[in-house]
Amino acid sequence: FSYALAHFMMQKKYRELWQKFFAQRGIELGKDYTVTREEDANIKDSEWDNDNKPGGGRIDLLVKDNKNIIVIENKIKSDINTKKSDKGGITQLNRYVNYVKWLIKHRKGEGEEPTSHFIILTPKYNIPEIGEDMKNVYSIVTYYDLYYFLQQNMSDFEDDSNFVDFYNAMKRHTYENVNDYLYYEMQEKFYRRIRK
């Protein structure tokens, strides 16, 4: 899903759609945004190591324009990760925040400092536990939220079979639990056989 999201976010004909999606979350994203998949969040500057502000890991989706940096961590079946070098409750979420702070500190050019936004995209059945220090930093967006948004805006994109397939594949992650989806899938197969 991260690859599909990156693909459709970068397509010119979908840019207004994603701008609208982020606008509903209070993020005014410009048309010239970029999307990076698997952004390497290692901090190269040794002064940050001395301040005990580690980076590291790979950010699922990093969306940037001249006013915003958006981190999207896609969590379908996994939890918030740590690594051996993480100490004192540091997780990948902390490391990504540190990395974005480092990016802002070392950005090139003049102008207004970009605003950072942190999102965890997750199914309702696997909302991860977030440490107290990150609860006010990261917002949770469920696949149901995204699916419902796309459903409301689908009429403009029904001619793109790849986008429709992406949208349909997302449905399995909109249920409260996995068993609900399995029941729905079984019911759909049963109805198809009856129709045949």
pLDDT at residue number 40: 86
Residue pair 32/65 in contact (Cβ under 8 Å)? The answer is: yes
Q: Which helix (H) or strand (E) holds 145?
A: helix 143-152
Residue 122: strand, helix, or coil: strand
pTM over 0.85: no
Buried-state track 34-64, b at ≥16 Cβ within 10 A, e below 16: ebebebebebeeeebeeeebbbbbebbbbbb
- Residue 133: pLDDT band (50, 70, 90) is confident
Q: What is the pLDDT of residues 109-132, one digit of tens each?
A: 657 889 999 999 998 888 888 888
CB neighbours (10 Å) of residue 20?
Answer: 13
- Residue 80: pLDDT band (50, 70, 90) is low
Q: What is the pLDDT of residues 8-34, one digit of tens each?
A: 999 999 999 999 999 999 999 999 999
Show Cβ contacts of residue 44 under 8 Å, excluding neighbours closer than 6 positions.
none
CB neighbours (10 Å) of residue 177?
Answer: 12
How far apart are the C-alpha atoms of 73 and 186, rounded to whole Å? 30
- CA distances to 17, 36, 39, 95, 166 from 59, in Å: 22, 9, 5, 10, 21
